[in-house]
Structure 1
Amino acid sequence: MEVSKHERIWQVVSMIPTGKVATYGQVARMAGLKNHSRMVGSVLSQLPPHSGLPWHRVINSKGRISFPQNSPQYNKQKQLLLAEGINFISDKVSLASYQWQTEGSA
């Protein structure tokens, strides 16, 4: 049976290590869905509240949280990342320092 696009996204997100982040585009590429970064955001936005998937480790290609700044979702994601040791400079994460590096990803 073929694995759905949603399941492929979930599988990639579940592999992001603690203390690392991945971009929406990186998750899409690793799930075999090149140029579908918006789909990654859409799939993650539909997760149940206590799914256990580390959705908070997915950020945009500029190193920023995609939720509106200071919204409840933004604050929750930022707190979860800070708790994992990911630091922010002017509300931006250094992708050079914190981006999850895997074979074939960049």
Structure 2
Amino acid sequence: MTDEMAADEASAIRARRIIEAVAAIPKGRVASYGAIAARAGYPGRARLIGKVLGEAPNRPDLPWHRVLRADGRIGIPAGTRGFREQCRRLKAEGVIVKDGRVPMSAFGLDHDLDRAIWGLPA
């Protein structure tokens, strides 16, 4: 196997793991790019998530709209078609979006996990 083939295979595995992590976000919930990177096994590689999602051939079938910046902001520039589509999809799932931001404390996966493990108040 050549170095180029090995790199292509590693890239495909990385993309598959990221897509699986995104696909696992339940309807009505969101996760940050960083949380998805960590769940896929690539902590600290949040930008990689956006790159993979942007290049995914099956993007219409992925819940890409459930991935946000760590502070709950939509990562797509405001006013663009993609921004409006992400807002529309999130709202259709019951997620509150105000001024391009989702309250992560109410809709983020990590906060639910903390509550489930530690019994923190909702």
Compute the TM-score of the two structures, normalised by the length of structure 1.
0.88
Counterpart of 2:93 (choices 84, 92, 98) is 84
Q: CA RMSD in A?
A: 2.1
Which structure carries more relative contact order (alpha carbon 8 Å, separation 6+)? 1
SS at match of 2:61: coil
Counterpart of 2:35 (choices 26, 48, 52) is 26
Structure 2 residue 80 is the aligned partner of structure 1 residue 43: no
Compute the TM-score of the two structures, normalised by the length of structure 2.
0.77
What's the % identity of the aligned pairs? 33
Letter in 2 for 1:91: G
**How far is 1:103 from its partner?**
5.4
| Number of matched pairs | 104
Letter in 2 for 1:77: Q
Equivalences for residues 62-101 of structure 1 within 5 A: 62-101=71-110
Alpha-carbon contact 2:90-2:97 (below 8 Å) kept: no
In the alignment, the residues of structure 2 paired with residue 12 and residue 90 of structure 1 have an alpha-carbon distance, to the nearest angstrom, of 27
